Amino acid sequence: MSTSFTTADTILTSTNTDRPMRVLAAEDNPVFQSMLRTMLTKWGYTPILARDGNEAWRVLESEEAPRLAVLDWMMPGIDGVEICRRLRSLNREPYIYILLLTARTESQDLIEGMDAGADDYLTKPFRLTVLLARLRAHLRRLPAPVERTLIEAGRLRLDLLSRRAYLGTVELPLRPKEFDLLAVLSATPGKVHTREDLMASVWDEHWFGPTKTLDVHVSSLRRKLTKGGEPAPCIETIRGRGYRFEPRSAG
């Protein structure tokens, strides 16, 4: 059976948030990192691997950050405790659970790690089954994800339950795929979406081929967005990459 895992370099371009639960494993020791990868995969998680603190921080500050993170205290670059401090200062939602791994055993070290924002603490050496038990215990405490029901970007408002779109007080007459496409774009204003990602998200996750139908839907959306008055949102073409939604809010 093949081992499935994700690297810190690829997670920042991924939009897949389906189960299995993703876990960041940040550890500079290649042997121990390999053990973590193998065991997390065996337990049904998808490991995201980081070789140092800088890679770990890039993952945790991104929009696609996992809900669970296992951090080595003494990593090269940004150490685990400093990552805890930075992350907690952001007041991120949803909350990211952090478990620190360290060879330090003094009580003052434990206090420092917990005060920095760590949720749990394991001293090396430890049994991997103990790590599994800690992760499972936290998973039981995680609240169920709240499904997003409303998107607001400038004057644009999309009600995902009723599937109705408004620009100011004007309702936009959108076809089903136009609504889906606008929802994907407007959910992350300023983000560039590749043509391939949009086709996969709106039409078919296994899609491969030309993107003419996407261009047609974007053109139609642009026309309809200009009929809702000014300032009108804009779907910008980013040459060679894809499309970006800009709300163009008043003021």
Q: Give the per-residue SS3 of 133-190.
A: HHHHHHHHHCCCCCCCCEEEECCEEEECCCCEEEECCEEECCCHHHHHHHHHHHCCCC
Please tell me whether residues 22 and 41 are part of one structural domain. yes
Please tell me whether residues 77 and 135 are part of one structural domain. yes
pTM to 2 decimals? 0.51
Residue 116 pLDDT: 86
> Residue 55 in 3-state DSSP?
helix
Residue 204 pLDDT: 63
Instruction: Specify which residues 72 forms β-bridges with.
Output: 101
Is the residue at 209 inside a domain? Answer: yes
Peptide bond into 20 cis (omega under 30): yes
Is the residue at 1 inside a domain? Answer: no
Please tell me whether residues 225 and 133 are part of one structural domain. no
| Domain residue limits at 199 | 150-246
**What does the pLDDT look like over 56-93, one tens digit per residue?**
999 998 878 888 899 988 889 999 899 999 988 888 77
Kindly state the DSSP code that residue 142 receives in the 8-state scheme. Answer: S
Q: Are 175 and 185 in contact (CB under 8 A)?
A: no
Please tell me whether residues 90 and 159 are part of one structural domain. no
CATH of the domain at 16: 3.40.50.2300
CATH of the domain at 162: 1.10.10.10
Provide the number of structural domains found in the chain. 2
Calculate what percentage of the chain has a pLDDT beyond 70. Answer: 84
pLDDT averaged over every residue in the chain: 81
**What does the pLDDT look like over 136-188, one tens digit per residue?**
887 777 666 556 789 999 899 999 889 999 998 899 999 888 999 999 999 88
Q: Are 246 and 234 in contact (CB under 8 A)?
A: yes
Is the residue at 73 inside a domain? Answer: yes
